[in-house]
Amino acid sequence: MPGSGSWVLGDAETLSICRPALLDKSHLLVGITRVRNEDGILRDTLDHVGAFVDAIVAFDDASTDATREILRSHPKVAILIQSDHWEAGIQARLLAETRHRGLLLDVVRQRLPCEWIYCFDADERLVGDVRGFLTAAPRDECDGVRVSLFDAYLTPDDHAPLGPGNKLCDGRRFFGPERRDILMLWRNLPGVRFEGLDAREPTGVGQTVTYLRCQHYGKAISVEQWEATCDYYMAHFPAETYGRKWARRKGHAVHILSDFGYPLTPWGPELFNAALPMSASHVQTDWPTTELGAGGYDILLATNHLQGWTGSETLLLALIDSLLNGGCRVAVYARYLDRDWVRPWVRPDVLLVDDPDALRPLRFDLAHVQHASCLVDVRSLFPRMPVLFSSLGVLPFLEQPPPLAMGVTHYLAISEEVESNLTAQGVPSARISVLRNLVCSERFRPQSQIRSRPERILVLSYKVDDARKIVLRAAAKVIGASITFVGDVRASSQDDVVTHINDADVVVSLGRGVIEAMLCGRVPLVFDVHGGDGLVTPDNLEQLMKVNFSGRLYRRECSVAELVDQLLLYEQSFGFRLREIAERRFSLSSNIGELMKLHREVIANPAAVPETSTPPIAFASTLARQDLGNYRVQRTRADAFVNEVQRIKSTVSWRITAPLRLLWNIPKRFLKRISR
């Protein structure tokens, strides 16, 4: 099997022994590297690595400069494999990345017995006590070491070329906070091998720890080398993983922010404290291959959370379907994204992302943004993209426009109340459009006629408190109606909600729930956490919708008697009449054309972010992402703890010892009872 001792030299490859004295003796650490045309930095690389390794085995990949001579002459290079043929083509390059390292690993095992192996590139500088740590690492606790790698950057005040005579370590002032923990050191165990395509890390390494740090200079040697790197990845690697990303970087060697939009930081504690681990979601994501329909455009929908059936999430999911039907291609960014929850409800050609950096290589015609947090994230990535900001309420902090020029072309308000809130915060009224809380009328539609009197009441809310539940139950009892409460934002899907609504005559809810009820031909009653505005009728609908049926128009804290009076206003004819109005005012099919027209106007009139806003936007986005990273770590730990408890409780030993635990707890419960 390749990688387990069977890699062989190619026809154009030869192996040379450079330092016979280093062979066939035991070493602590041997380095392996593959290089091509690195004579500008290679001597410094070998001196740096040679300070802590016992020997080096190198692969020269058809260099045309002095790389080969430098390798042969260095006292720590024991063996040199040299290729006189450059393997061109995407597939060939991907395989070569793996095969060359596999070949180096096999050669080490054959001629240089060692305890540890270090795989390095010419543009990396390891920082820390390498030998001291490897000597101290217990065999039963550590089989490999992941090294935290940070990218150095060329900056306006620091972009003179680094070449012969320069030391790369600490050779640049600024680094990006993105941290990649790469498996660079591992014990020389028989199961370790290189396999697959484009493999930097071997497989078969057991327990690993993260220790040491690495300064990576692949982006920071010179402007000329940056351009050459862009050309190399564009020509020899797949577009979806490397090519498209590096094509966008071409011509942008000198940086103010990192390639991922974060502030650059000097090497040291400040950088390490701000470090942002690069997860699997940072792998560049390909844009869906579906073609745009007539009149369509590429749109990014951004929202703070997409993990349950709350108002902003149901609105977003409804917009996705309508925009797709309108010929658009849609990507969705959510800070808090539950893919398992949302994926069944969206088409497979919708891109779902919770890491904004995965969007960086893509191009959009505009962003339709819900929540100020996502506006900051979008702007930190795309300073010139046209943006429409949609405000869905007046109370939540996330619905407020940021007190900073963010280059928003136009604002959407879900009601006149929200419109007033935006103007009160300085948004010109000419840049605000009121577009209601739109609902899919094809899904929310009558399945039966409501009854002549309100016999069944549905309370559709995840916020209603226990006190109001008591009042609602009492009012239902007075009029002889049954009452059902539905409000699990995770369990109750849209289809479940449709079924529940169609089984009722009166639906007690707020906001979107009121609209869904009307589209199903039911009569809503606005009553929830903010108090109530009473029964919705064809006569008062126009007034109540100005506050999005929030209960804030009158804010009645209804007694049982007052609720009974409202319920007795019910008329069977209201069902048909309310649906007729709701179809015109709130259905997506009636209003999506207006929204898409507004999108096109925004695309035609982009408003870029002022330069003075760029640093605070980057700072705010970085701060938020750090908090989000901490949240994800805590969530992962909590999930792991719950899973472990469940695993323990499923074991035979747990079930067998249940009687013993019962006996053990009896005295504890007795003492607790008498101590009260």
What integer pLDDT is reported at residue 18 of this predicted model? 96
The phi-psi region of residue 23 (left if phi > 0; otherwise alpha if psi is between -120 and 50; otherwise beta) is beta
Name which of 250-259, 261-270, 315-324, 489-498 the model is least confident about. Answer: 489-498
Q: Mean pLDDT throughout 479-496?
A: 82
pLDDT band per the 50, 70, 90 thresholds, residue 147: very high
pLDDT band per the 50, 70, 90 thresholds, residue 465: confident
CA–CA distance, 226 with 333 (Å, rounded to integer): 30
Alpha carbon 349 to chain centroid distance? 17
Q: Mean pLDDT throughout 433-454?
A: 93
Q: What is the pLDDT of residues 611-663, one digit of tens each?
A: 788 788 777 777 776 777 777 677 767 777 777 788 788 888 888 888 887 88
Q: The domain that contains 525 carries what CATH number?
A: 3.40.50.2000
What domain count does the chain have? 4
Are 492 and 561 found together in one domain? yes
Q: Do 225 and 166 contact (CB within 8 A), yes or no?
A: no
Tell me which residue range forms the domain holding 364: 298-436+596-609
Q: What is the pLDDT of residues 155-167, one digit of tens each?
A: 999 999 998 889 9
With CA atoms as reference, report the closest residue to 156 among 245, 264, 250: 264
Are 20 and 78 found together in one domain? yes
Q: Mean pLDDT throughout 276-282?
A: 56
Helix/strand/coil (H/E/C) assignment for every residue in 262-284:
CECEECCHHHHHCCEECCHHHCC
Would residue 240 count as lying in a domain?
yes
Q: Mean pLDDT throughout 330-357?
A: 85
pLDDT band per the 50, 70, 90 thresholds, residue 239: low
Are 415 and 468 found together in one domain? no
Helix/strand/coil (H/E/C) assignment for every residue in 13-61:
EEEEECCHHHCCCCEEEEEEEEECCCCCCHHHHHHHHHCCCCEEEEEEE
What value does the mean pLDDT of the chain take?
Answer: 88
546, amino acid identity: K
Cross-strand pairs, 149: 180, 214
pLDDT band per the 50, 70, 90 thresholds, residue 85: confident
Would residue 241 count as lying in a domain?
yes
With a cut of 70, say whether residue 284 has pLDDT above it: no
CA–CA distance, 302 with 592 (Å, rounded to integer): 18
Would residue 532 count as lying in a domain?
yes
Structure tokens at 55: 């020997």
What integer pLDDT is reported at residue 676 of this predicted model? 61
Would residue 637 count as lying in a domain?
no
Q: Do 435 and 591 contact (CB within 8 A), yes or no?
A: yes
With a cut of 90, say whether residue 34 has pLDDT above it: yes
Task: State the helix-helix crossing angle for 573-586 and 511-519, rounded to 10 degrees.
Answer: 120
Q: What is the pLDDT of residues 393-430, one digit of tens each?
A: 998 888 888 888 889 999 999 999 999 999 999 999 99
Are 339 and 480 found together in one domain? no
Would residue 530 count as lying in a domain?
yes
With CA atoms as reference, report the closest residue to 318 among 599, 587, 596, 514: 587
Q: What is the pLDDT of residues 97-139, one digit of tens each?
A: 888 999 999 999 999 999 999 999 999 999 999 999 999 999 9
Are 498 and 362 found together in one domain? no
Strand pairing of 144-151 and 178-187?
antiparallel
Would residue 633 count as lying in a domain?
no
With a cut of 50, say whether residue 434 has pLDDT above it: yes
3-state class (DSSP) for residue 500: helix
Are 426 and 489 found together in one domain? no
Are 578 and 600 found together in one domain? no
Q: Mean pLDDT throughout 332-342?
A: 88
Structure tokens at 274: 């701000």
Are 465 and 431 found together in one domain? no
Cross-strand pairs, 406: none
Are 328 and 353 found together in one domain? yes
Q: What is the pLDDT of residues 542-559, one digit of tens each?
A: 999 999 999 999 988 889
Would residue 406 count as lying in a domain?
yes
Would residue 464 count as lying in a domain?
yes
Are 100 and 231 found together in one domain? yes
Are 76 and 197 found together in one domain? yes
Burial 321-344 (b: 16+ CB within 10 A, else e): bbbbebebbbbbbbbbbeeebbee
What integer pLDDT is reported at residue 283 of this predicted model? 37
Q: Which residue reads 């590297």 in tokens?
A: 33
Q: CA 361, 366, 371, 373 torsion: positive or negative?
A: positive
CA–CA distance, 512 with 503 (Å, rounded to integer): 18
Q: What percent of the chain has pLDDT over 70?
A: 93
pLDDT band per the 50, 70, 90 thresholds, residue 356: confident
Are 28 and 77 found together in one domain? yes
| Prediction pTM value | 0.58
The residue out of 230, 249, 268 marking a domain boundary is 249
pLDDT band per the 50, 70, 90 thresholds, residue 4: very low
Largest CA distance in the chain: 100
Q: The domain that contains 148 carries what CATH number?
A: 3.90.550
What integer pLDDT is reported at residue 26 of this predicted model? 94
Cross-strand pairs, 117: 30, 186
Helix (H) or strand (E) holding 305: strand 298-306
